[in-house]
Structure 1
Amino acid sequence: MPGRRLTILGGGGFRVPLVYGALLRPASPITSVVLHDVDRGRLAAIGRVLAAQARTFPGAPQIEVTTDLTEALTGADFVFSAIRVHGLAGRVIDERVALAEGVLGQETVGAGGIAYGLRTLPVAEAIARRIALVAPDAWTINFTNPAGLVTEAMAAHLGDRVIGICDSPAGLGRRVVRALGLPPGSARLSYAGLNHLGWLTGVHLDGKDWLPRLLADDETLQTIEEGRLFGVARLRELGAVPNEYLHYYYDNQEVVRAALSAPETRGEFLLRQQTECYAGLSDEAADPLVRWRATLRQRDATYLAQEGLGERPEAEGGGYEEIALALMLAIATETPADLILNVRNRGTLTTLDDDAVVEVPCRVDGSGAHPVPGASLPGHGVELVRRIKATERAVLTAAAERSRAVAVRAMAHHPLVDSVPVARRLIAQYQRQLPELAYLR
């Protein structure tokens, strides 16, 4: 198999070593990696971590670094997009501005997600146009959040050659399959929704749906994260297992109260942690890989800590880097794989139009990702999905028309804001603190 070239946009990002670690496996089709970032210091720091990873792997993918986007994209077979416009400082602003109005400030859900999307879309679309010009045959794998919204914006320029990924559905499926005592990877999962807004509605093996068995077992349900997060009674009432991000919708007031009483937001914690980490990575006398791994363990252990789940065990694998590798491998080798991805609807969910990007099971092969027919939303989720997709479409329109009024409309339409006066104040405050939103007039 000929070697393939991968370009990572946001190449100075903290989680890039996870992607590179996956590429060190013998099955990886990638032989060279180009890291692109606008921050030279972060590029140099992460480059040191990757070099340390590669030392004990003869034939590890070659590493190049650049701040020139055209240079980075030239010759790329795959482009992995994981940018963060305004960095973690922007996430802190997303969170704090929202909380000051008493609404959720999570980075992809609610007011924070809308602010993040509004400042990211112009950059993501510019990147998509450059990819179409410089590397039209490349496959773009989007992990930039809000992933579904950004993937839909990029698809206007790249068509079906952009595919969005998220590790939440895979992690949910893995936990449920393990709780049922089924062999890993043996079951076909029924899952449908939007990014960070989906439900697992079936676990199929040997002609049987095993999910009802799990929902009927209080003790086993309590062993999975979602059982503790949502509660056994609610899961049984829903007849499905929601993506963990549904917690922000189902228990919104509780989440906002917890965030307001916490000593720092998640963004503030990560900004502090990563500032310390990058400073340490510049120390030539220290082992960069040891330092990075210690920071990653702390990051993983504190995920969803405000939700009262305690510390997570050390990362169990199967995260977004594994999904990216499986996706690239299926395309490069034309070996089919089944993955839950963010792709154009193409009639899969009848409640949404064909161009809406949805998160559903797909069959991936050499020609890309194809939604598996038959996916459906649970009845109780239909209206919420419609409303969030309408909100996303308003965000896309606001960015395209550079319209503050449409941005306010998008903000007000989101069910976790649901107020025109609050939406006006939110957009005004975000514009004061985020120069990237000056384009809204």
Structure 2
Amino acid sequence: MKLTILGGGGFRVPLVYGALLQDHAEGRVTHVVLHDLDPARLSAVTRVLAEQAAGVPDAPEVSATTDLDEALRGADFVFSAIRVGGLEGRANDERVALAEGVLGQETVGAGGIAYGLRTVPVAVDIARRVARLAPDAWVINFTNPAGLVTEAMSRHLGDRVIGICDSPVGLGRRIARVLGANPKEAWIDYVGLNHLGWVRGLRVAGRDELPRLLADPDLLGSFEEGKLFGVDWLRSLGAIPNEYLHYYYFNREAVRAYQQAEKTRGAFLHDQQARFYAEMGNPDAPAWKVWEQTRAEREATYMAENRETAGAGERDEDDLSGGYEKVALALMRAIARDERTTLILNVRNQRTLSVLDTDAVIEVPCLVDANGAHPVTVDPLPDHATGLVCAVKAVEREVLAAADSGSRATAVKAFALHPLVDSVNVARRLVEGYTDVHPGLAYLR
């Protein structure tokens, strides 16, 4: 089976390959094609994978190319993990927003809109090429903003594109762990959009254990979300929000922390990964060891500003191991081998949330089989959550309309309608600032 990874020179590709190395069953991936626009990054990651596979006799073959059509042709699965504009683009997303006093995070608020505006046209081109060159392939989208990009691609690929994120999985795992339950045996009642969802229940053997967690302040305050949001706020909500909702519920504090930070997250990663890829230019450098050290630092500093604002301390060791690659491989196996499973995924709504239309991509538990991912029926969201979901989905739709039409006015509307942008004039200045620094937004007129 052939797997193509778009963004194959990206830093996290070894996580995916590591999961593939553990799969020895019939029908597994035997050939991985890495595609990237940067030959040096491809070379660096290929070296890491070669050392990673040492001693594994049936390791999948790895090849690399800068030719997109060649990479896609004949693929069974396509992992899309591109970053349009690179980490320099992410750092600019943060900087322009923070200069206007609004959040610059890569998927939330102004930064997420800017990232989406320059990513959607590229993702749509990829979707059209997949439809032409590999019409039977399944696309698993890692590219952020994951829900928005998945919806853009679904207009050309239908349900054969599925978005993934490790945040809901990590959240469910942490809740199950503090309740003494096996995460593999728990049903997580989670619903929302990507980076905008809530756990409303966690059922083990048919019993909802979340009320027990909410009733115990010591237990509730013992894991990351309890420390991040505070026990009183979680009990008021009656649910456990995705960590990214910290940017909404504590927006002023988050913006201040980002403004005061020595470096934004994007700038930190830009510098860190520049060092990594530069070191990989040395043919004698121990590729796997250098990658592991860099990854450990990256994971330990994740959402550091938010945790500092909340006094949440360091991340637990169990949360430093990533997870999105495990979701991707479980999804791929379920489809390829009809190994039926349940995963929280980004898929078209169909009739799951009545407040959204059928084509809106949402993030919910899905039953997965050889025919793809099927969203399960969920209870309606409470009004406060419905309001946020509908507002942010409306913004996503304006981003898609702006990307399709090239309308600058529509791009301004997308920024202005976002709950975390507080003025139409700020929205106008954001569009000016972003078009000044991003060549990929030159299409906005």
Could you say which TM-score interval applies, normalised by the shorter chain? over 0.9
Does residue 310 (structure 1) correspond to residue 313 (structure 2)? The answer is yes
- Which of 22, 25, 29 does residue 22 from structure 2 map onto? 25
| Structure 1 residues 145 and 263: alpha-carbon distance in aligned structure 2, compared to 1, 3 A threshold | same
- Partner of residue 247, structure 2: 248
- Partner of residue 260, structure 1: 259
RMSD value, Cα: 1.0
Task: Percent identity, please.
Answer: 64
- Partner of residue 414, structure 1: 418
Q: CA deviation at 1:318?
A: 6.0
- Partner of residue 349, structure 2: 345
Q: Is the 8 A contact 1:170 1:318 kept in 2?
A: no
Q: CA deviation at 1:380?
A: 2.2
The answer to which of 340-349 and 276-285 deviates more is 276-285
- Which of 438, 441, 444 does residue 440 from structure 1 map onto? 444
- Partner of residue 289, structure 2: 290
**Corresponding residue SS for 1:185:** helix
> Deviation digits for residues 308-347 of structure 1, max 9, x if unmatched?
1333244554610000000001011111010000000001
Q: CA deviation at 1:375?
A: 4.5
CA distance in 2, matches of 1:208, 1:48: 48
CA distance in 1, matches of 2:93, 2:364: 28
- Partner of residue 433, structure 2: 429
The answer to which of 338-347 and 413-422 deviates more is 413-422
- Partner of residue 178, structure 2: 179
| Alignment of structure 1 residues 125-164 onto 2, 5 Å | 125-164=124-163
**Corresponding residue SS for 2:104:** coil
Instruction: Name stretches of at least 5 consecutive residues in structure 1 with no aligned partner.
Output: none
- Partner of residue 13, structure 1: 10
**Corresponding residue SS for 1:30:** coil
Q: CA deviation at 1:134?
A: 0.2
Normalized against structure 1, the TM-score is what? 0.98
Supply the AA of the counterpart residue of 2:17.
Answer: Y
CA distance in 2, matches of 1:189, 1:318: 19
Q: CA deviation at 1:110?
A: 0.4
**Corresponding residue SS for 1:358:** strand
Normalized against structure 2, the TM-score is what? 0.97
Does residue 378 (structure 1) correspond to residue 382 (structure 2)? The answer is yes
CA distance in 2, matches of 1:135, 1:186: 36
| Alignment of structure 1 residues 384-399 onto 2, 5 Å | 384-399=388-403
CA distance in 2, matches of 1:296, 1:378: 38
Q: CA deviation at 1:419?
A: 1.3
CA distance in 2, matches of 1:173, 1:201: 11
Supply the AA of the counterpart residue of 1:237.
Answer: S
Aligned length, in residue pairs: 438
Q: Is the 8 A contact 1:199 1:378 kept in 2?
A: no
- Partner of residue 281, structure 1: 280
CA distance in 1, matches of 2:157, 2:90: 27
CA distance in 1, matches of 2:363, 2:383: 17
- Partner of residue 36, structure 1: 35
Does residue 239 (structure 1) correspond to residue 242 (structure 2)? The answer is no
| Structure 1 residues 7 and 375: alpha-carbon distance in aligned structure 2, compared to 1, 3 A threshold | farther
Q: CA deviation at 1:36?
A: 0.1
Instruction: Name stretches of at least 5 consecutive residues in structure 2 with no aligned partner.
Output: none
Q: Is the 8 A contact 1:34 1:65 kept in 2?
A: yes
CA distance in 2, matches of 1:96, 1:143: 24
Q: Is the 8 A contact 2:191 2:378 kept in 1?
A: no
| Alignment of structure 1 residues 77-88 onto 2, 5 Å | 77-88=76-87
Supply the AA of the counterpart residue of 1:68.
Answer: D
CA distance in 1, matches of 2:313, 2:238: 26
Q: Is the 8 A contact 2:188 2:203 kept in 1?
A: yes
Q: Is the 8 A contact 1:402 1:440 kept in 2?
A: yes
CA distance in 1, matches of 2:339, 2:96: 47
Q: Is the 8 A contact 2:296 2:320 kept in 1?
A: no
The answer to which of 94-103 and 179-188 deviates more is 179-188
Q: Is the 8 A contact 2:190 2:199 kept in 1?
A: yes
- Partner of residue 368, structure 1: 372
